[in-house]
Amino acid sequence: MTIANNITQVIGKTPLVRINDLAEGCQATVVVKLESANPLGSVKDRIGVSMVNEAERQGLIKPGVSTIVEPTSGNTGIALALVGTVLGYPVELVIPANVSIERKKIIAAYGAKIIFSSPLEGSDGAIRLCRQILYETPERYFKPDQYFNTANPQAHYETTGPEVWSQTQGRVTHFVAGIGTSGTIMGTGRFLKEKNSQIQIIAVEPDDAFHGLEGLKHMASSIVPGIYHEEQLDRKIPVGTEEAYDAVYRLGREEGLLVGQSAGAALWATLKVARELDEGTVVTLFPDFGDKYLSTNLWVGWKEFDKRQQYA
- The set of catalytic residues is 44, 262
Residues 6+ apart with CB under 8 A from 173: 28, 198, 199, 200, 277, 280, 281, 282
Q: Which helix (H) or strand (E) holds 175?
A: strand 174-178
* C-alpha torsion sign, points 98, 181, 35, 264: positive
Give the separation between CA 33 and CA 214, rounded to whole angstroms.
Answer: 19
Q: 89 near 110, Cβ under 8 Å?
A: no
Give yes or no for a contact between 296 and 262, defined as CB atoms under 8 angstroms apart. Answer: no
Burial status of residue 53 (CB atoms within 10 A of its CB: 0-12, 13-18, 19 or more): middle
CA distance 186 to 177: 10
